[in-house]
Structure 1
Amino acid sequence: MSRLNVFALIVDQFRFLRHVGTGKAAVVVRIFLVALGPVSGAVSVRLGWQLNSVGELAAALGLLAGVFISAFAIVFSLRLTLATRPSSNLKQRASRLMDESALTLLTAGLVAGVDAIWVTIVSAANDPNTPVSVWPTAVTVAMSAIVAAYFFLAIRRLHILYVDTFPPFWKVEKMAGRAGAAIDLEEAARRVAIRSDTHA
């Protein structure tokens, strides 16, 4: 049964959210993710929303879950490749960002997959010519809202992973311009990376 336990992944994700930072932005993200599902479901019940059909939604969620898992596999393979290289400040920062991105992608895939299973069950149990009742609709809305939030969170983590690992050319050129012609672009990129790691 321990192999089927997915709660450990959820616990790890919330530990990551708890330790990702103490600034206002990090606190807002944590509160938003925790409150999004219940608030979305409550709004759906309050407004009496009813879905006419959920078949297409199940297919979309299943596809999205597959995309998340595929992206996780790519990040995981890159992490294994990075582990074979000599240690450096760039490697340590990239490793941390890859771990955070992989955890976010895996959690997003789990949430999207669970939502797809739920929607499939609702679709099978409901008469195609009858709208879905209020409470199943509310659960679907709540879970889909969480999936959407994790989609944007995963995109943000991948963006941070790329930009922090490979500084944008405009930052590198700016650093090289400040230092004069004494350093090349590779050295400027290294300095930008160190500065980014210091401010992280």
Structure 2
Amino acid sequence: MKRFNVFALLIDQYRYIRNTSSKRAAVMTRLILICCAPVLAWVSWAQGWQLQSVGELIGALGLLAGVFISAYAIVFGLRVTQGRRPTSNLKLKVAHSMDEAALTLLSTGLLAGIDAGFLAVVSAMTPEGSSVGVGMTAAASGLSSLVGLYFLMSVRRLHMLYVEAFPPYWRVRAMVGHEEQSEQKPSHH
């Protein structure tokens, strides 16, 4: 049964959500992830939202799942070249970013696939020409909100990975300028 336990992936990814500088848990991000789906599901249910069709969403979510799992494979392949114990601080920081990016990409692919599968079942249960029920729409809204959040986190993780591996010129210039200023300050004896 362990082979079917997708919660292990989500728990690992959740544990990896940390502030990059302090390595402490990113509490606000974790709270948003925990609260988003239930809150949006409740709002959807309270407002009586009903999906009119889900066919397009199923295709889009299925495609999203495939794209993110493919992106995971690329990041995983690159991470393997880093080795288990990177040799410099920069390589260590990049390796950590790759680890978090890989888990976030894989989690996004998983959630998009689950959402697509759920909506496929909902579509099969909904009579043709009818709206999706309020309860099923609320569940779909909550799950889709998680997919959206993980999508945003994935893009941000990839962005951070890129700028940590290849700092843009303005960051390099700022770091070099800061070092030059500290060297020019007279010391007091």
Please state which band the TM-score falls in when normalised by the shorter chain: 0.7 to 0.9
* TM value normalised by structure 1: 0.82
Structure 1 distance, partners of 2:100, 2:65, is: 18
Q: Which residue of 1 aligns with 2:144?
A: 144
Structure 2 distance, partners of 1:178, 1:53, is: 56
Give deviations 1:86-111, integer Å, cap 9, x for gaps. Answer: 72222111111100110111111111
Q: Which residue of 1 aligns with 2:100?
A: 100
Q: Which residue of 2 aligns with 1:170?
A: 170
Give the conservation status (yes or no) of the 8 Å contact 1:18–1:30: no
Give the conservation status (yes or no) of the 8 Å contact 1:40–1:141: yes
Does 2:76 align with 1:63?
no
Q: Which residue of 1 aligns with 2:46?
A: 46
Q: Which residue of 2 aligns with 1:184?
A: none
Alignment RMSD: 2.0
How far is 1:17 from its partner? Answer: 2.7
Instruction: Figure out how many residues of one structure are paired with residues of the other and give that number.
Output: 178
How far is 1:15 from its partner? Answer: 1.6
Structure 2 distance, partners of 1:179, 1:107, is: 40
Give the conservation status (yes or no) of the 8 Å contact 1:59–1:116: yes
Give the conservation status (yes or no) of the 8 Å contact 2:41–2:141: yes
Give the conservation status (yes or no) of the 8 Å contact 1:40–1:145: yes
Matches within 5 A, 1:174-189: 174-177=174-177
SS of residue in 1 equivalent to 2:59? helix
Q: Which residue of 2 aligns with 1:117?
A: 117
Structure 1 distance, partners of 2:145, 2:86, is: 42
How far is 1:28 from its partner? Answer: 1.5
* TM value normalised by structure 2: 0.87
Q: Give the fraction of aligned pairs with identical amino acids, expressed as a percent.
A: 52
Letter in 2 for 1:17: I
Quick check: which one's helix share is greater?
A: 1
Structure 2 distance, partners of 1:111, 1:84, is: 28
Structure 2 distance, partners of 1:107, 1:37, is: 15
**Unmatched runs of 5 consecutive residues or more in structure 1:** 181-200
**Unmatched runs of 5 consecutive residues or more in structure 2:** 181-189
Letter in 2 for 1:54: V
Give the conservation status (yes or no) of the 8 Å contact 2:86–2:92: no
